Structure 1
Amino acid sequence: MTLAYDEAGAGEAVVLLHSSAADSRMWDPQWEALTARFRVIRPDLRGYGRTPYASETPYSDPGDVADLLAVLAVERAALVGASYGGQVALEVATAHPALVSRLVLLNPGCGLPPTPDLVVFGEEEDRLLEAGEVEAAVELNARTWLGPEADGRARTGQMAMQRHAFEVQLAADPEPSQLEGEIDLDRVTMPTLVVGGAHDLPYFQMTARHLADRLASVTTVHLEWAGHLPSMERPGEITSLILRHLTRPAG
């Protein structure tokens, strides 16, 4: 199955990978500026946005992304990932390092064991969804993932994307079988920008420090104002940050 996606612009390829608390629409604020400089592709992963939550065989998100780029004849691309999208970007870079020119990782996951803060969030989200309290789970995600700089429009947008994802995934019958991607940081040697937020969960702040210590070619930025989804909280500032990294001379 090919993921639903948007594509616009020309030049070097840039792929935008969304958070699991959103879908490809989270990149709306960055779309115009990025497509003016690059060929930009933004897919919806399975169960998000316009892509069904279905598969006849076990699938993986990094495999889906790599397959989409093959369909689009993209031989090399920069990957920009937020949260879970950052984890998928690292998984693609591990499996297909020659495919990835650069990485921009906004509060990414990288497979570290969960810390108590993340466990508490996950247990509460599961409890609400099992009780059929979808709207309460949507509100929990908005409280957890959006920092104090997020305005009403950002909160409304994030909640709409999260609500849709829950509805699609909860309705799946049968639920597809998903394979876990692999992350090997020794294989991630391309220039990488890691962005962390002071208002994010401690788990993701720890992850940012881990990546800063382990990656071969890494620049780190810690944003005192940011929560977990800074591209939605201060869109213009994050757009500029992404553009600076993507246009910086390699080496």
Structure 2
Amino acid sequence: MNPTTKDTLDLDDGRLYYETAGKGEALVLTHAAFLDSRMFDDIWEPLAEQFQVIRYDMRGFGRSSPTTGPLCRRRDLDALLNHLGVARAHLVGCSNGGQISLDLALEQPQRVASLTLVDSTPSGFELQGEPPRYLMEMIGALQNGDVDRANELQIRIWLDGAQREPGQVDDGLRQKALEMNRIPVAQGTFFSADAQPLNPPAVTRLESVHCPTLVVAGALDHAEVLRAADEMAARIPHAKKAIMNACGHVPAYEQPTAFVELLLGFFQNAL
């Protein structure tokens, strides 16, 4: 077992909690914006056998500080890499974590050895059709300060997904997700704005990504997320796409063993 180092990085207006383990090329895990770095618990050790693995809680999540106003999450990721002396890293991001990773790869391509975008949409991607079920009710619960209801609805949207009911998802995973998500819900993180969005946004320049890229999507995720995966795989040069069956928006959390096998296979074949 690789020992894990736990620490915090002080920023101008907050702090990031992060962990590192293993040796070798740097691999950074960025979580979805309804969980925190604990979503990677079951892939942490296997990846640390081959990489210097880094995971962190975005501000407003987990053990990082609450948000105090507008912020730029790719700047936070960049600051963490600088703090750790990492000039170049493999970036693995889930959902919003993938969007942040993709934006950084476009802004600073020299820093990114590869991209793995998991159930992500590129910045500037416009959702079509009906919003996910429960979304408007969830926003209303947040605005009314109903933490319990908003927390449950967030998990129904992003863990259970459009095609499953709560009883169809592993109860242990669901309870852990509720625990993680309660922190950003209680802190109002959902309403934190990005002060420096990538300009022009990623969706307008996917062809400019030139590092090896793996696009992953859970087969049970929302149709628009699957459409975004198709578009990224089609437009990012030489991108590979993989669909993971029987899981939704966070396949690395639901199916960690299969996800690690997929990721290591990508590295072996593409790098």
Q: What TM-score do you get using the length of structure 1 for normalisation?
A: 0.90
Query: In the alignment, does 2:35 pair up with 1:53?
Result: no
Query: 1:28 aligned to 30, 41, 55, which one?
Result: 41
1:128 is matched with: 141
Q: Does 1:11 find its partner at 2:24?
A: yes
**Structure 1 residue 179 corresponds to structure 2 residue 200:** no
Unaligned 5+ segments in structure 2 are: 1-10
Is the 1:97–1:187 contact (alpha carbons within 8 Å) kept by the matching residues of 2?
A: no
Q: Could you list the runs of 5+ residues in structure 1 that have no partner in the other structure?
A: none
In structure 2, distance between residues paired with 1:32 and 1:165:
26
CA gap of 1:212–1:177, structure 2 versus 1, over 3 A, is closer
Q: 1:157 is matched with which residue?
A: 176
| TM-score, normalised relative to structure 2 | 0.84
- Give the conservation status (yes or no) of the 8 Å contact 2:67–2:189: no
Measure how far apart 1:212 and its partner are: 1.2
Alpha-carbon offset, residue 248 of structure 1: 2.8
Q: Decide which of 216, 221, 232 is 1:200's aligned counterpart.
A: 221
The answer on whether the counterparts of 2:37 and 2:56 sit within 8 Å (CA) in structure 1 is: yes
Q: Show the counterpart of 1:83.
A: 95
Task: Say which structure, 1 or 2, has more relative contact order (CA 8 Å, 6+ apart).
Answer: 1
The total of aligned residue pairs comes to 247
Deviations along 1:123-175, whole A, 9 cap, x unmatched? 22211111222211111122222245741111111111111111123699xx6
Give the corresponding residue for 1:115: 128
Q: What does residue 3 of structure 2 align with? A: none
Is residue 210 from structure 1 mapped to residue 231 from structure 2 by the alignment?
A: yes
Query: Partners in 2 of 1:44 and 1:170 — Cα distance?
Result: 12
Distance across 2 between alignment mates of 1:19 and 1:169 = 16
SS at match of 2:172: helix
CA contact (8 A) 2:60 2:189 kept: no
Closer, same or farther in 2 for the Cα pair 1:119/1:201, shift >3 Å?
closer
Q: Of residues 243, 248, 251 in structure 1, which corresponds to 2:269?
A: 248
Distance (whole Å) between structure 1 residues aligned to residue 233 and residue 41 of structure 2: 28
1:191 to 205, 212, 217: 212
Residue aligning to 1:225: 246
